[in-house]
Chain A
Amino acid sequence: AQSVTQPDIHITVSEGASLELRCNYSYGATPYLFWYVQSPGQGLQLLLKYFSGDTLVQGIKGFEAEFKRSQSSFNLRKPSVHWSDAAEYFCAAAPPGGGNKLTFGTGTQLKVEL
């Protein structure tokens, strides 16, 4: 079955520290991959997406993600976290050419210590 796994439920980092949020997928072929961010009580905002090509993808708010086929991973990174980055982050995937229904991970709650 197709699935997306975010192994970390909660992560706490200090402001100014680097961040890496993990995401692993299980699909027959390389899926389309996405990262979304959700502030409390709000909808989800797209940070970045990967379809093919360059495995390092740049997104909004200074985030980037690296696709690693050998590890079935699509980890989200930021070199220096700001207090405003505290939110919940969701990884998602969709089968290429197989319709546009996304499968979401269960999310990682990021807390930023000042």
Chain B
Amino acid sequence: DGGITQSPKYLFRKEGQNVTLSCEQNLNHDAMYWYRQDPGQGLRLIYYSQIVNDFQKGDIAEGYSVSREKKESFPLTVTSAQKNPTAFYLCASSSRTGSNYGYTFGSGTRLTVV
């Protein structure tokens, strides 16, 4: 079955460390997105990519980095510059056209700073 796979489901980071969250999709979708979710704040866009080798900053990109070397993959790195990284991170993908418009989401990664 087609879908989006996020790994790991739970991740623990020490202060000052960089960590990378994985997101892989086999839906042949062009666009991919990373959102951060905090209680009471809904979903906030971190980065998005509409085509391979291109990506744009979202609303809260500071302290994060991404790459899009393959259509299927869009990893997110949470750097030590992100001062409050503890959150639930969601990856999504979408087709650009027609009735497939709308996102398909992964099951999320919960990142905790220890």
Contact = CB atoms under 8 A, between A and B. Distances in A.
Interface of A: 9, 32, 34, 36, 41-46, 49, 51, 90, 92, 94, 99-102, 104-107
Contacts of A9: 40
Interface residues of B, number: 27
* B interface secondary structure, majority: strand
B106 interface: yes
Contacts of B40: 9, 106
B50 A99 contact: yes
B108 A46 contact: no
Interface of B: 4, 6, 31, 33, 40-43, 45, 48, 50, 88, 90, 92, 94-96, 99, 101-108, 110
Contacts, number: 55
B101 A101 contact: no
B110 to A, nearest CB: 7
Contacts of B99: 51
A104 B42 contact: yes
A54 to B, nearest CB: 14
Given A43-B90, A44-B103, 8 more contacts: A32-B102, A42-B108, A43-B6, A43-B107, A49-B102, A99-B50, A100-B94, A101-B45
B33 to A, nearest CB: 8
Contact of B107 (A42, A94, A106): A42
